[in-house]
Amino acid sequence: MMRTRPLKVALLGCGVVGSEVARIMTTHADDLAARIGAPVELAGVAVRRPSKVREGIDPSLVTTDATALVKRGDLDVVVEVIGGIEPARTLITTAFEHGASVVSANKALLAQDGAALHAAAGEHDKDLYYEAAVAGAIPLIRPLRESLAGDKVNRVLGIVNGTTNFILDKMDSTGAGYQEALDEATALGYAEADPTADVEGFDAAAKAAILAGIAFHTRVRLDDVYREGMTEVTAADFASAKEMGCTIKLLAICERAEDGESVSARVHPAMIPLSHPLASVRGAYNAVFVESDASGQLMFYGPGAGGAPTASAVLGDIVAVCRNRLSGSTGPGESSYAALPVSGMGDVVTRYHISLDVADKPGVLAQVATVFAEHGVSIDTVRQQGKDGEASLVVVTHRASDASLTGTVEALRSLDTVRGVASIMRVEGE
Amino acid sequence: MMRTRPLKVALLGCGVVGSEVARIMTTHADDLAARIGAPVELAGVAVRRPSKVREGIDPSLVTTDATALVKRGDLDVVVEVIGGIEPARTLITTAFEHGASVVSANKALLAQDGAALHAAAGEHDKDLYYEAAVAGAIPLIRPLRESLAGDKVNRVLGIVNGTTNFILDKMDSTGAGYQEALDEATALGYAEADPTADVEGFDAAAKAAILAGIAFHTRVRLDDVYREGMTEVTAADFASAKEMGCTIKLLAICERAEDGESVSARVHPAMIPLSHPLASVRGAYNAVFVESDASGQLMFYGPGAGGAPTASAVLGDIVAVCRNRLSGSTGPGESSYAALPVSGMGDVVTRYHISLDVADKPGVLAQVATVFAEHGVSIDTVRQQGKDGEASLVVVTHRASDASLTGTVEALRSLDTVRGVASIMRVEGE
């Protein structure tokens, strides 16, 4: 039954993920062959530093010429784990042109150029798989694209960045401030020396674009994703959250509007109730909540990063692509037929927690409440605490559009009695 | 681009799940067509009571002759949602013989005859998909079979029966006894009039057999699954669990032995730590924890039953099978190449919580400890509480084989000073 010609896999990049893919391909060769129906062999490894010793990898396979590797013409699968836009993009399209299917873990590239890459794959009748690009080992792309193919997804709500979840979890459990928690994350290797991509939400925004595109069968580009980092979350915000029975998470939220006629994608810190399953996602773990018409609420939880978990996702894709090669078929490609408009942040509707510093004198609450009412933002609860002529006022609203809330806050700032807006945080997951 | 001949789908059974499948096929016809690449049409519905009014289903499609329906020869997909062994089994094999692929939600049949059904599908080069057979809408079969195809699964630990989870959750949160909680589950429609299949673990055992087979690439039959129901779990057991920082869940556990040379599958109530993600799975929800070499710990959570969630899983499979039909391929079939031996319960290794009623006099603890030592069962903690000449002794062991524990308990029962063994419960998830 088993075909003897091996399927040839080339690796572009041999860092933390690539070396683990190579290791598993070697140590689990028999299992992979049995599961695919043919042996797979490592046919080449493109690296930048060829002199580095790579345990378990035949040095004759190593090359610095990635372009020549993908042009060989005898490759079945090219695995791109370089990251970044170029040369990854050109290498992937060159691989398609020369007959290979592609497995990628490159969230930035897919979020920016997913449509063009899918088009290139389709033109050459090849597969483009990228389970590893979102939330490491957690199966998300395949469940959204295949398991839920007969359902209507309304919302994807997830913790998709382990670094920021580690920091926020630390702030929540110890009362530490942002900088202190970041320092610990850096010391433990959970945050990079330059943590910008994580803490400013760029990484999560790329994943949100990919998830929204698949969930809503609509092209969602990175530029379409509203992005707000978590560097301004304070210990005081956590104290406010606790008073509401909430914690704070950096969430990626992809939503279908209530009228179903548009979608949106956004990344920002938000309060979520402690009773929500995402609230108990600790440390560097990731979890994604998916709400659909028929299946209700599903959650997928696991390690969102790391060499071995990401390699597991890459290998699952390698097996799928190899099976497709053997049967002469391709898996599902891009599905963007719904082509729904992507709303800007102003149209997004949610709840808000607003802390104001106000003068502690009669009539202030009435003034503030009038501003909310004038902007059509309905107040759910309000709590005032006064001391020495100053007071803090905490307002939690019902659902309102971001544009209405922004207008409200601008008007509040112009009130003499409002000394300052201490914080504004969205409330999600209810 | 779109092929115009519709793909033909026949439904066997039109109860809670079947009617929801038919409804979604009608209301979401355009979405399904776009996702598949061709329209799908409902070509026939086999029922037992043709006179029943079925909203939204053309009466001319309804037949009582399921056999004639599956023999039509023009069907692309037969959806079996009848349940039970016969006539489902014969109808499925007949469907393969007459050119259709099959989507089934029938856990009992797949657990008992999965190998033969897969062989029949393979012989006719057709698909057999059954995501809906385990844990309703939660994607599990596809992630295990495809996403983790490049990984090595070591353990699957899950709450796969909503009825029993509802009952145990109620006992935990209210202190109710088993019967009281069962009565409430029945009144609310979470338990059937005859709850045997759920509370005695038969339903969970069928799911365990299916999951173990896929996870370990080994045939695991229903008879291979050790099964213990949860009817004897008491309020006192929950009190004991709480003292240990645990709760009690009915778990389906599929494990690779530590030496990797065998596997096992079992269903029984067990204590798990409150810190374990499965401990917070409430009400009738299901959740499955998967531990693998590379991906670490993954969890899949969602509604494990109900018409709409199960229909979502069925429709995901219909879309996949239809895509395969269009590309002239089939998805992954049975993978049983590993063919590992399936151990009996005696070889299973875990921890135990044992409550003994003993005479409150000097030397009893020494006697009891000696019995454990003689059987090679190492004690982790022991707690003694005495009153009026009687005492209770709670022993928590380190990991030991079920056979050693059974031998220990037999020997304890023969001690004069041991008045009775109040309860024995396994401790999992650590």
Report the chain A residue with the minimal C-alpha distance to residue B326.
A329
CATH number of the domain located at residue range(s) A348-427 in this protein? 3.30.70.260
**A267: helix, strand or coil:** strand
Query: Which of B20, B40, B42, B147 is the best residue to mutate to test the A interface, defined by the most A CB atoms within 10 Å of its own CB?
Result: B147
Is B7-137+307-327's fold the same as B141-303's?
Answer: no
User: Domain map of chain A by residue range?
Assistant: 7-136+307-327, 141-303, 348-427
Per mean pLDDT, which of A276-285, B113-122, B356-365 is the most reliable? B113-122
Which chain B positions have a beta carbon within 8 Å of A215's beta carbon? none
- Tokens 């599905």 -> residue: A335
Is B296 in Cβ contact with A299 (below 8 Å)? no
Chain A nearest CA to B116, separation (Å):
19
Residue B390 CB neighbours (<10 A): 12
Q: What percent of chain A has pLDDT over 90?
A: 89
Asked if A290 contacts A256 with a C-beta cutoff of 8 angstroms, the reply is: no
* A144 has a pLDDT exceeding 90: yes
Is A332 in Cβ contact with B311 (below 8 Å)? no
Which chain B positions have a beta carbon within 8 Å of A311's beta carbon? 150, 294
- If you average pLDDT over every residue of chain B, what do you get? 94
Is A24 in Cβ contact with B150 (below 8 Å)? yes
* B1 has a pLDDT exceeding 60: no
Q: Say what the pLDDT of residue A5 is.
A: 86
Report the chain B residue with the minimal C-alpha distance to residue A275.
B280
Nearest alpha carbon to residue B110 among B129, B138, B136, B91: B129
d(C-alpha B126, C-alpha B248), whole Å = 42
Which chain B positions have a beta carbon within 8 Å of A309's beta carbon? 294-296
Residue B280 has its nearest CB partner, among A142, A280, A300, at A280
Residue B294 has its nearest CB partner, among A138, A292, A309, at A309
Average pLDDT (B153-167) is: 97
E strands in B47-113: 62-63, 77-80, 101-104
Chain B nearest CA to A424, separation (Å):
30
The residues near B191 (Cβ < 8 Å, ≥ 6 apart) are B163, B166, B167, B182, B185, B198, B199
Is B149 in Cβ contact with A320 (below 8 Å)? yes
d(C-alpha B91, C-alpha A233), whole Å = 60
Average pLDDT (A177-195) is: 94
**B92: helix, strand or coil:** helix
**B3: confidence class by pLDDT, cuts 50, 70, 90:** low
Please pick, among A8, A170, A207, A249, the residue that the annotation labels catalytic.
A207
End-to-end CA distance of chain B: 53
* A428 has a pLDDT exceeding 60: yes
Which chain A positions have a beta carbon within 8 Å of B286's beta carbon? none
Average pLDDT (A319-346) is: 94
Beta bridge partners of B252: B158, B267
**B104: confidence class by pLDDT, cuts 50, 70, 90:** very high
Is B303 in Cβ contact with A294 (below 8 Å)? no
d(C-alpha A218, C-alpha A207), whole Å = 15
More confident residue, B52 or B133: B133
Going by DSSP bridges, is the β-strand pair A263-273/A285-292 parallel, antiparallel, or unpaired? unpaired
* B126 has a pLDDT exceeding 90: yes
Residue A295 has its nearest CB partner, among B292, B302, B323, at B302
Chain B nearest CA to A44, separation (Å):
19
Architecture (CATH level 2) of domain B7-137+307-327: 3-Layer(aba) Sandwich (3.40)
Which chain A positions have a beta carbon within 8 Å of B301's beta carbon? 277, 298-301
Please pick, among B207, B242, B249, B387, the residue that the annotation labels catalytic.
B207
Phi-psi sector, A135: left (phi>0), alpha (psi -120 to 50), beta: left
Q: Say what the pLDDT of residue A2 is.
A: 53
Q: Say what the pLDDT of residue A3 is.
A: 58
Chain B nearest CA to A236, separation (Å):
27
Q: What is the ipTM of this complex?
A: 0.92
Report the chain A residue with the minimal C-alpha distance to residue B334.
A35
Which chain A positions have a beta carbon within 8 Å of B325's beta carbon? none
**B384: confidence class by pLDDT, cuts 50, 70, 90:** confident
Number of Cβ pairs < 8 A linking chain A and chain B:
198
Which chain A positions have a beta carbon within 8 Å of B295's beta carbon? 136-137, 302-303, 308-309, 312-313
Tokens read off for B355: 């409550």
The alpha-helical segments, DSSP class H, found in A252-293 are: none
d(C-alpha A30, C-alpha A40), whole Å = 9
Architecture (CATH level 2) of domain A7-136+307-327: 3-Layer(aba) Sandwich (3.40)
Does residue A207 have an active-site annotation? yes
For the annotated binding site of A, the residues are 12-19, 107, 192
Residue A137 has its nearest CB partner, among B131, B217, B296, at B296
Which chain B positions have a beta carbon within 8 Å of A316's beta carbon? 146-151
Beta bridge partners of A351: A427
Residue A131 has its nearest CB partner, among B131, B147, B320, at B147
For the annotated binding site of A for L-homoserine, the residues are 192
Peptide bond between residue A269 and the one before it cis (omega within 30 degrees of 0): no
Q: What's the fold here for domain A141-303?
A: Dihydrodipicolinate Reductase; domain 2 (3.30.360)
**B108: confidence class by pLDDT, cuts 50, 70, 90:** very high
Q: How do residues B387-396 score in pLDDT, each as one tens digit? A: 777 889 999 9
Lowest mean pLDDT among A336-350, B230-244, B294-308, B385-399: B385-399
* A349 has a pLDDT exceeding 60: yes
Residue B296 has its nearest CB partner, among A297, A309, A332, at A309
Q: Say what the pLDDT of residue B354 is.
A: 96
Average pLDDT (A180-203) is: 95
Report the chain A residue with the minimal C-alpha distance to residue B25.
A150
Asked if B311 contacts B124 with a C-beta cutoff of 8 angstroms, the reply is: no
Chain mean position to CA B68: 33
Which chain B positions have a beta carbon within 8 Å of A274's beta carbon? none
The residues near B21 (Cβ < 8 Å, ≥ 6 apart) are B11, B79, B81, B311, B314, B315, B318
d(C-alpha A80, C-alpha A120), whole Å = 15
Q: Say what the pLDDT of residue A389 is.
A: 76
* B226 has a pLDDT exceeding 90: yes
The residues near A270 (Cβ < 8 Å, ≥ 6 apart) are A248, A249, A250, A251, A253, A350, A425, A426, A427, A428, A429
Asked if B384 contacts B390 with a C-beta cutoff of 8 angstroms, the reply is: no
Is A295 in Cβ contact with B308 (below 8 Å)? yes
Q: How do residues A148-179 score in pLDDT, each as one tens digit? A: 999 999 999 999 999 999 999 999 999 999 99
For the annotated binding site of A for NADP(+), the residues are 12-19
In one letter, which amino acid is A177? G
Q: Say what the pLDDT of residue A304 is.
A: 87
* B338 has a pLDDT exceeding 90: yes
Q: Say what the pLDDT of residue A385 is.
A: 81
* B118 has a pLDDT exceeding 60: yes
**A217: confidence class by pLDDT, cuts 50, 70, 90:** very high
Is A316 in Cβ contact with B149 (below 8 Å)? yes
For the annotated binding site of A for NADPH, the residues are 107
Is B332 in Cβ contact with A309 (below 8 Å)? no
Q: How do residues B65-96 score in pLDDT, each as one tens digit? A: 999 999 999 999 999 999 999 999 999 999 99
Is A332 in Cβ contact with B327 (below 8 Å)? no
Q: Say what the pLDDT of residue A415 is.
A: 94
Q: Say what the pLDDT of residue A361 is.
A: 84
* A7 has a pLDDT exceeding 60: yes
- DSSP code, position A131: G
**B397: helix, strand or coil:** strand
The alpha-helical segments, DSSP class H, found in A146-303 are: 162-174, 178-187, 196-199, 202-216, 235-243
Q: Say what the pLDDT of residue A387 is.
A: 73
Residue B303 has its nearest CB partner, among A280, A296, A302, at A296
**B19: helix, strand or coil:** helix
* B2 has a pLDDT exceeding 60: no
